[in-house]
Homo-oligomer: A and B are copies of this chain.
Amino acid sequence: MTLRIRCQNCSVRQIAPCGALTASTAHELARIGYRRRVPAGQVLYGGVRPPQICSILVEGVVKLVNVNPDGSQQIVGLQFASDFVGRPFGEGATLMAEAVTVLDVCAFSGPAFETLMLTHPDLERTIFKRTLNDLDAAREWMFMIARKTAGERVASLLLLIARKLAGGLDEHAQKAGLLEFNLPLSRTEIAECLGLRLETVSRQFAALKAAGVIATGRRRGLRVCDVQGLTVRARGAAVD
């Protein structure tokens, strides 16, 4: 189930937090964690589970969810391969992190991770910077939800997922057909991301298909046929 962390041939080492550490810190970090496979739907942290867990995502997608008293959910963030998933010092945290797909993670106990940060400033600095970027991303996202139309929101989310899953939208990736991938999220989850209803999301997908911007396939398969078109639709309204 759990294995020792072996960094030598890790697929995300260069871009994950570990890549920014000194060799000795990286070694210490590898010593206190384990490589695990996590089934889809499992809660990584939050909810009623007190012992906090910090993870570095090697493969898969995680959603950060705000669950309400009335049962409705709001997805307030998505994490992809190489992202750090956790809430250090998270006594009063109200969020929940849940695996959307099967995951590969390097998992660390929260307290152990926090202790290591105390003695290894480069680790703390790295996670700190990631947190600042997450904060920027959250605010960017917030703006999107507040001000864009349903169509713009769906296009924006597809673009974001495509960028993360297909490794950037450069010319080569496009030509190599990398813009064909399986959507990790259900319609309901997409709606929960965007502050919409699933019917609305479905209608927007239909519109994008009708416009020839995307095509859908089996098992949530998605092909972005017209990146330019999707980008324009994500940006929204009148951009002269």
Contact = CB atoms under 8 A, between A and B. Distances in A.
Interface residues of A, number: 42
A37 B74 CA distance: 40
Chain A to chain B: the 7 pairs with minimum beta-carbon distance, closest first: A146-B195, A76-B139, A74-B143, A138-B138, A142-B142, A66-B143, A128-B128
Interface of A: 64, 66, 68-70, 72, 74, 76-77, 87-90, 93-95, 118, 121, 124-125, 127-129, 131-132, 134-136, 138-143, 145-147, 194-195, 237-239
A94 B136 CA distance: 8
A195 B145 contact: yes
26 contacts: A66-B139, A66-B140, A69-B239, A72-B147, A74-B142, A74-B143, A74-B147, A76-B142, A77-B139, A87-B132, A93-B136, A95-B136, A121-B121, A124-B124, A124-B125, A124-B128, A128-B131, A131-B131, A134-B135, A135-B138, A138-B138, A138-B142, A145-B146, A146-B194, A146-B195, A147-B195
